[in-house]
Structure 1
């Protein structure tokens, strides 16, 4: 399977609290959650739903998994939304050392050897394995060269605080831009594929 990451992100690279601040966020001093609520026009919202619908399976970090389960896996009206239908029907894999008995159906917790588990998943079938949210997991996947494609949904706001998608110190990666579009509200959707290491100028 092709491993694709889909991330809502601010202009300054923040991914934290896109839907709204959680208690955990507030306890950590992050008070600017909810920056992606209402962002994007109907075409962008339709695109996001279609993205979930085309997935063959999902891979999440523990925190993103819990948030999505509480939202799309328990509220009856949302279960009938196209995103909810996709999330409830497709296999879900969770990278977690603490989750032992997942409540959400079609969920498998990956073992201690995450690299082997994800590599096996990618080789097991055709189709698309999607990672939504899960910025720390994405950082790890990038370090291990497991990401095939990245979609960034860039909301035109600068937060000035919050956890960011790309680590302060991490692997350097060149990216090829595959597709780019913007909507009537200034939200940009850009799709990239990793292309090895960047080339650095020598003076």
Structure 2
């Protein structure tokens, strides 16, 4: 049985997922943080794109070790999808070259625990549409952002999804978890 793979992105009402730290402001509360902790608790491996890995590898190792996300992200195994980074990566990271879908398919068949796909946007989109993300959670914040990259842009064909779970937070966010719908 393959390991479960998950992704969780913050999402504006008009579909923007890029740079949520610029627009989620007062709609991310303690309840959202606790939800994220529960979401990430069973995860033992993270698949991450090069851009996000660079940002996080410069930021998170220097943060307070008592920070819950720092406690989780710093020691976890990271699988970095890149064609430009050097072979040897710090921060408990392994370089993934070649086809990321083949790599994740193989990763799902080895080890224990869930696999989180942390980003970037293209990585999450590609792996989800390839059926390699079992649960895609979108926390939709009550904000219209305007410009910014969307997870599903005009390049994505009509794709049917199944709603697996839903919740509303006290700050007005909708937390919606989807899976790909099996063909009829």
TM-score (norm 2): 0.90
Alignment RMSD:
1.7
Paired residues of 2:128 and 2:136 also in contact (CA < 8 A): no
2:156 match: 170
Distance 1:116 1:133, change over 3 A: closer
1:51 paired with 2:54, answer no
Q: Which has the larger radius of gyration?
A: 1
Q: Deviations over 1:115-155 (max 9, x none)?
A: 22111101113421001241111121133221211011111
TM-score (norm 1): 0.82
Distance 1:38 1:70, change over 3 A: farther
Higher strand share: 2
1:103 paired with 2:90, answer yes
Matches within 5 A, 1:68-147: 68-75=56-63, 77=64, 79-100=65-86, 101-104=88-91, 106-147=92-133
Counterpart of 1:89 in 2: which secondary structure?
coil
Which stretches in structure 1 are left out of the alignment for 5+ residues?
A: 20-33
Question: Quick check: 131-140 or 8-17, which moved more?
Answer: 131-140
Which stretches in structure 2 are left out of the alignment for 5+ residues?
A: none
Paired residues of 2:118 and 2:124 also in contact (CA < 8 A): no
How many matched pairs?
181
1:191 paired with 2:153, answer no
Paired residues of 1:59 and 1:94 also in contact (CA < 8 A): yes
What is the deviation of 1:196?
Answer: 2.9
1:16 match: 18
